[in-house]
Structure 1
């Protein structure tokens, strides 16, 4: 949180979330769904950028600048160093999610009232506003899980590679993590080699599409608690694997 980037991204998020309800999307009554989708995407992207940047600065730069060597000369093991960095990175990410998430819920609630006022319909009830907020809350939880997974991957990469390489690789993982399931289920996925590559990437890369509820938003379907539980388990297991890889990569890293 001492980094200026945290406050810059927070300001961008606040401005965007406040403006979204007033933007005319011209979707014939579907503006609220657009606000939900854009708000979730904005919060998730800003949090991921913060996580990747912080991981690169706090791990890769400390290793290159030999600050990590000074820290590890104290009674702090390499595993504790990596795990502590991971938890330390998650703190500002969680704070950003809490602050922007609260503003986002208020923005969604106000959008319900705003649309009713613009169309001349009867005033929206508190139950209607609360229902829209309740529908979007699981999306915030899933978006946070996605940010946690990418944070764990970024920490592992930062133990060996500098900032720019870390950002590029994580950006590629983000794109592939959302693209692979779509590719496998498309007409192109019927081609044998494409199906093999898609299944191979799905086996080693996180399937980030699990954390996406755009389809649920467009259809108005709530996210079941069972789905949230299984996705949380998937997030936990993948983070454990990423942390194990990070510790193995950092164990024999020359810090001198």
Structure 2
């Protein structure tokens, strides 16, 4: 799923070429949608395998036999899932930064000496080769690949944006639209909410049902935010439209720190509520 997300974000500039307006904004919109979808499936699969499978195989008893509470186990699982999703999100964000940098060169037909495509491909190739080598030595291929992509792709993106068109060095923040980073952060918070839903569901449901519930939560959250806001039952479904600000970027709006802050507080409260439900479900689950 990590490589799928990287690949989809990397090819998004090809779709951006069909934009009638700003190509970069369409590229960002497609990439954010990709990150949300891939993050949702990655979180659901990880949650179902990290806790749900352990409950069904009764291997979770190994953890519960130690002096830890079920609440600690569930929150620890969520922390691990959140870390994995954050590393994947950083890799996808770095890929998007490289794609924007590369697309800027070709769309504006500027004389740019930065080998953006080469930098990105080398970073990805080194990540794959090192992960394959580590796998031969008995280490986990997905974990190693995730770590490598996070470090190398982020470094490649920073290098590409530090490299000015004339070959000199510059501060990346002066040339990159930081509103895009805020939008990515809010999308990531939405992914974490869906991961919390998947983890809570995995305490009772099998893997297919957990994934289906995560997908239904995403669908209902978008519908509620778009069409059903204010209805009596809408309060029971997280309004994920609060975290989707891509439309504002396309219309040329600016993202304030206050907007991001309030949205992040709302996301934290929703995650806390969902995890509280998960703790209650797990506390009453027979795992013996």
| Structure-1-length-normalised TM-score | 0.83
Does residue 18 in structure 1 map to residue 10 in structure 2? yes
Structure-to-structure mapping, 1:36-75, within 5 angstroms: 36-75=28-67
> Residue 177 of structure 2: SS of its match in structure 1?
helix
Does residue 250 in structure 1 map to residue 282 in structure 2? yes
Structure-to-structure mapping, 1:87-236, within 5 angstroms: 87-117=79-109, 130-184=174-228, 198-200=231-233, 202-236=234-268
Alignment check: 8 A CA contact 1:109 1:130 kept: no
Aligned residues between the structures: 232
2:269 corresponds to: 237
Deviations 1:172-217 (A, max 9, x none): 11001001122236xxxxxxxxx6xx431x2111110011112112
Structure 2: how far apart are the matches of 1:44 and 1:10? 12
Structure 1: how far apart are the matches of 2:98 and 2:245? 19
Deviations 1:139-191 (A, max 9, x none): 11001100111111111111111111111111111001001122236xxxxxx
Structure 2: how far apart are the matches of 1:203 and 1:24? 36
- Unaligned stretches of 5+ residues in structure 1: 1-8, 186-194
Change (3 A) 1:92 1:128: closer
Structure 1: how far apart are the matches of 2:285 and 2:182? 39
1:28 corresponds to: 20
Alignment check: 8 A CA contact 2:224 2:237 kept: no
For residue 230 of structure 1, report the CA deviation from its aligned partner.
0.4
Structure 1: how far apart are the matches of 2:104 and 2:217? 36
Alignment check: 8 A CA contact 2:221 2:241 kept: yes
| Structure-2-length-normalised TM-score | 0.74
Please give the root-mean-square deviation of Cα atoms over the aligned residues, in Å.
Answer: 2.3
Structure 1: how far apart are the matches of 2:105 and 2:24? 10
> Would you identify which runs of 4 or more consecutive aligned residues in structure 1 move more than 4 Å?
123-132
Structure 2: how far apart are the matches of 1:44 and 1:208? 11
